[in-house]
Structure 1
Amino acid sequence: MNTDARKDTAPELLRVTGLRKTYRTGGTEVVAVDDLSFSVRAGGALGIVGESGSGKTTTARMLIGLERPDAGEILVQGRPLAASVRGRPARLARAKAVQIVFQDPYLSLDARLGIGETVDGVLKLHGMSDRAARAARVRELLAQVGLGDREAAALPRRLSGGQRQRAAIARALAVEPAVLVLDEAVSALDVSVQAQVLNLLSDIRRDTGIGLVFVSHDLAVVRYVCDEALVMYRGRTMEHRPVDELLTDPHHPYTRLLLASVPRPGWDPDSISRRRRELDPLTTATEAAAGA
């Protein structure tokens, strides 16, 4: 569901330029991300799309500091994101710049604490010392994601998958980050619950001006919530355009393959497999022509 929240005149929250990440495995260098560039403005939402191994999750991990890029620059609100941080003030500043919501919130929520306690702990860590003010802010944040007092008192295991994901979003919003990264954040949810969470994210970015980076393999999800889509294949950008244009008139063979891979009446898996085998030389030729 696209909105007009992202304007060309809106402040730029995130700029990524020339990002590169390699790994060594078995004595061989593997390029996970290669020369990746994009930007997100206030209230904007970018979808990074690709299959497993495309480099999209590595990109997300670099944005939040879990991986260090070999080259390139990440700017948040015009300031470089440090490759590494030391000391509590630097860690808190990094957390306020970019937050992430993972695919499985159960693994990232403290199983021993109620949801309200978890959010309260984040507020306290970031300097809100007044207990009454924190309690009011916890209620506000949980209400923003559609949770109430009952869910606030519950342990994560007592909540549904959708409720846990809402709680994870509330916790991320507690520090008022400039950018929120969502790494396959709805892929484990039922379709009806996915729609609820996606509507929630659309409302949040409209109301707060936060920038979203939505990492997903699901083109329908990206189309619903994002303004722009960036398609990655083997670490490189194949296409980066407004999402409706990209999904209705894909230019690159890999984007067309992704769209064709979605099951539908008349879907031909054998044809998809054949096109996939043909993809590598096509991709190489496209990149060579672009660099000529």
Structure 2
Amino acid sequence: MNTAPAPAPRPAPTVPGGPLLQVSGLRKTYSTAGTQLVAVDDLSFSLHPGGALGLVGESGSGKTTTARMLVGLERPDHGEILVQGAPIAATVRGRAARLARAKAVQIVFQDPYLSLDGRISIGTTIDGVLRLHGRGDRVARAGRVRELLAQVGLGDRESAALPRQLSGGQRQRAAIARALAVEPAVLVLDEAVSALDVSVQAQVLNLLSDIRRDTGIGLVFVSHDLAVVRYVCDEALVMYRGRTMEHQPVADLLTAPRHPYTRLLLASVPRPGWDPDAIGRQRRSLDVLPGEPGSPASPTVGPDA
């Protein structure tokens, strides 16, 4: 986890209306070696316009699988996803349905170099998205490309460049501009700043805070880095082996965590006097966490618990 101190979090915008995103009873399993691996189990949460929710947990906790289900890259076994009150179909058929889903939810991946086409310029990439969604003629699209790039702090030089000619931070800004091109209701960011230098992380996080303040877009931020979540998110949902361990406002979760697993995550952040052996002993002392197979059932810790 990032050891650099995080700036004070920015206040969340207040936008009237019902939930922008509602997830209810989401479950996803995979078959491996003749057994069923539960990746996500009975996951529920909501996100309001202009809000930002952090999905937090170790590798294998199910947070990336959740992100992939939100954007349709994985199909849930059970559960429902609503965007602006309308259900997102588990199976999307036909061009119109695919475009509608893309407009509802977009994703920005961890490595922008892999998600951008290295053979074409950044401006051409964004223009292709606009053209696919029928956003105006060539002149109108060119103007919109400039607007989107300016929104993320890029200009004509970056528009004409290939992905390999840009820095990591510039590529991630370009990936965000591409995702914003269709004006989605929800933007999912899967470890979107974890590969960036700390100073560049701060720039991208400031950018995301400005975008949600100005547009009312909802952010679902997948991260293992509690410092990042503290800065950009209003609420955090802690996952372990696909299940919710705790869901609280970020400030409350970081200062008064209720679940032993959350306390373990916080204790795992390196600091002066940090003892990794003690963390390992604490990890083993948890043995079987509440909600795991073979353990006593216990209620999920939520915002109103």
Q: Which runs of 4+ in 1 moved over 6 A?
A: none
2:129 aligned counterpart, secondary structure: helix
2:298 aligned to which of 268, 289, 292: 289
Matches of 1:37 and 1:164 in 2, distance apart?
Answer: 32
State the match for 1:248 in structure 2: 255
- Paired residue total: 290
Q: Quick check: 1:2–1:227 contact (8 Å CA) kept in 2?
A: no
1:119 is aligned to 2:116:
no
Q: Quick check: 2:290–2:298 contact (8 Å CA) kept in 1?
A: no
Matches of 1:267 and 1:98 in 2, distance apart?
Answer: 40
Q: How does 1:218-233 map to 2 (within 5 A)?
A: 218-233=225-240
Cα offsets for 1:196-250 (capped at 9, x unmatched): 0000000000000000000000000000000000000000000001000001100
1:289 aligned counterpart, secondary structure: coil
State the match for 2:13 in structure 1: 5
| Aligned AA (2:241) | R
State the match for 2:245 in structure 1: 238
Matches of 1:11 and 1:198 in 2, distance apart?
Answer: 26
Q: What is the CA distance between 1:270 and its match in structure 2?
A: 0.6
Q: What is the CA distance between 1:277 and its match in structure 2?
A: 1.1
Comparing 125-134 with 166-175, which one deviates more in the overlay?
125-134
Matches of 2:21 and 2:272 in 1, distance apart?
Answer: 40
Cα offsets for 1:118-144 (capped at 9, x unmatched): 001100100024111101100000000
List gaps (5 residues or longer) in structure 2: 1-8, 301-305
Q: Quick check: 2:72–2:90 contact (8 Å CA) kept in 1?
A: yes
Matches of 2:73 and 2:233 in 1, distance apart?
Answer: 24
1:275 is aligned to 2:276:
no
Matches of 1:185 and 1:219 in 2, distance apart?
Answer: 14
TM-score in terms of structure 1 length: 0.97
> What is the root-mean-square deviation of aligned Cα atoms in Å?
1.3
Q: What is the CA distance between 1:287 and its match in structure 2?
A: 5.9
1:167 is aligned to 2:167:
no
List gaps (5 residues or longer) in structure 1: none
TM-score in terms of structure 2 length: 0.93
1:188 aligned counterpart, secondary structure: coil
Select the structure that is richer in helix: 1
